[in-house]
Amino acid sequence: MSTDNLKQAEKEAAKAKKKAEKAARKAEKMKDKARRKALKDGTLKAALDEAPTDPNAPDPLRPRTEEELKVELEDLRAMVQGEIDEMREQAPDAEWDDIVKQALYEKQHGIKAEYHRPVMCDICGEHEVVEGTDYCEECLDDMKHYPFEWWQFIIPVMAVFFLVFGILLCHEGWDVYHGTAQAQSLAREGKLMSALDKYGELNGQIAEGSDTYGFQYRKNQVKLLNQTGVQQFGVLDNYLEAYYPNDLNKWYNRYARQSKERIDEYEAAYNCFEEAAQSSKDFKSLIKTYDKAMEGKDINPAFANYYRYYACLIYEQGIDTQKKYVEAIKAQGEEYESLYLPLETEIALTEKDYDKALSLCDMLENRNVEDVYAYVYRTVAYRLKGDLKAAASACDAGLKIDGTASTLNYQRAILFLLEGDYKLASTYAEEAHANAATANNYVSACSIYSLVLQEQIADKTAAIKAAKDADTKTKLKSERADLKSTLESLNTEMEEYGYEVSPDVAKVIAGKKTLDEVFLKGEGDFAW
């Protein structure tokens, strides 16, 4: 026989063997199916129920005579023959004699007759599974030779490509992505100013690769600037001008555009107020002129009432009038918290409701942990309560956040002045003066600085009188001269700007008020 014929014969033999095995499995399946049907119909169960269960019945395993076996077998066969014949008609290939013999034996000896359903293949559902798997032998064989389409190989290749691309992209902009993550983490902690500082470190890189990093980066920074309130509107306006020069009106920059509109509304309210203030001599005329200036203009009510409140401060209107305008701001919604929360705190301090003021300070701090004024107001509240230690602690906490803040340095100067430490009071007063950014801050800083210098000059004068040797007197006189020169320069500067020290300072210098009367028992400040 040739090699080809031999291979063909082997192939045919293997096929015939596989066909025979399949036929055997099919016969076994028919047998099981018939048994299950018999159990379901109750026919086999009825036969089993009629089987003897007498414990004294002869043991079927005891050796019997041929005659005894014939009699016993005939009795059993007569009992179930009718049922077996009927079952054979349904499944003629099933070996029912063996099934009945096994079932009767189990019944007689108290063995539970239970049919165990075979586990079928998860794929075809027709054949029993191979032990240790969920599939039959045929399906397992088919799976070994299952073909893959060409396009299925593209999926893992593309996955690897995008992975490599992502790694390269992240590497290129790692500083930006890492810095942004740090900034957003600070923002979630309520450290808005630190978050803005971190973004500021990245702005140069963002400007160079704005197409790479997208508008979301810029939007995050705009949101932070909005959260800090009107104090940062100038910074926000500069940022919008720098990073949204040509695309502010695009649909995806809607939030930035709305922020710009709000800044414009704020500036419009300010311009109207400034115009009215220059031509008014009292509160009523200022409000009347201010309202007339806003006619026909789309002025945000929150900003309009914000400046009406400050008109109350300029002309020393009562608390009730101040509250009216603050409530009007508050009615515009929580988005204006940065406007009305500080004003509510100032009113609480003026009314000597220090516990309410401290509670409002907590609300300010919750909005922004680094809100300088939260620490300023808390310092004032504790000082006016007479708790100078708590006041100093609150002020120092604020200075850790912003050591150059004019308002905080001003408050710390007051505390050292009350303690009689004129040297440190002078240091903080000078810092407050150097960093004053608003008219209120400037007047307050100049007033406290002038007061400290006056106290230092008086202290030096007393020391000169008490000095016994000439060298000490000469040294003290020189130091006093320097202090007088500094005071003179400060007074000249204030005159040039059109300001003067507060009435309270003038009274302290004239001996009409004490420091305690001004900073512990009075309103406690020249300006907020």
- Which of 37-41, 56-60, 316-320, 518-522 is predicted least confidently? 56-60
CA distance 116 to 39: 12
CA distance 424 to 426: 5
Report the pLDDT value the prediction gives residue 38, as an integer from 0 to 100: 58
CB 272 within 8 A of CB 290: yes
Domain ranges of the chain: 20-54+65-115, 120-146, 164-246, 417-528
Report the pLDDT value the prediction gives residue 212, as an integer from 0 to 100: 46
CB 523 within 8 A of CB 350: yes
Length of the chain: 528
Local confidence band at 375 (pLDDT 50, 70, 90 cut-offs): very high
CA distance 4 to 103: 53
Top pLDDT among 408 and 168 is at 408
- Which of 215-224, 311-320, 435-444 is predicted least confidently? 215-224
DSSP 287-302: HHHHHHHHTTS---HH
- Which of 252-261, 284-293, 396-405, 449-458 is predicted least confidently? 252-261
Give per-residue pLDDT as tens, 459-485: 999 999 999 899 999 999 999 999 999
Q: Residue 64 pLDDT > 50, yes or no?
A: yes
Q: Residue 68 pLDDT > 80, yes or no?
A: no
Across 331-349, average pLDDT: 93
Q: What's the whole-number average pLDDT of the chain?
A: 80
Q: For residue 406, what are the contacts with CB-CB under 8 A and spacing of at least 6?
A: 431, 432, 433, 435, 436, 437, 441, 444, 445
CB 495 within 8 A of CB 313: no
CA distance 305 to 323: 11
Give per-residue pLDDT as tens, 408-431: 999 999 999 999 999 999 999 999
- Which of 130-134, 184-188, 276-280, 299-303 is predicted least confidently? 130-134
Q: Could you give phi then psi for residue 347, rounded to 5 degrees?
A: -65, -40
- pTM assigned to the model: 0.64
CA distance 497 to 119: 98
Report the pLDDT value the prediction gives residue 49, as an integer from 0 to 100: 55
Residue spans of alpha helices (H) in 190-336: 192-208, 210-213, 215-227, 233-243, 254-278, 283-294, 301-314, 319-330
Give per-residue pLDDT as tens, 238-260: 888 888 877 788 888 888 899 99
Burial of 505 (C-beta count, 10 Å sphere; 0-12/13-18/19+): buried
Query: 3-class SS at 16?
Result: helix
CA distance 252 to 241: 17
Give per-residue pLDDT as tens, 193-230: 888 888 888 877 665 444 445 577 788 889 999 888 88
Q: Residue 101 pLDDT > 70, yes or no?
A: no
Q: Residue 57 pLDDT > 90, yes or no?
A: no
CB 495 within 8 A of CB 516: no
- Which of 56-65, 131-140, 296-305, 320-329 is predicted least confidently? 56-65
Report the pLDDT value the prediction gives residue 243, as an integer from 0 to 100: 81
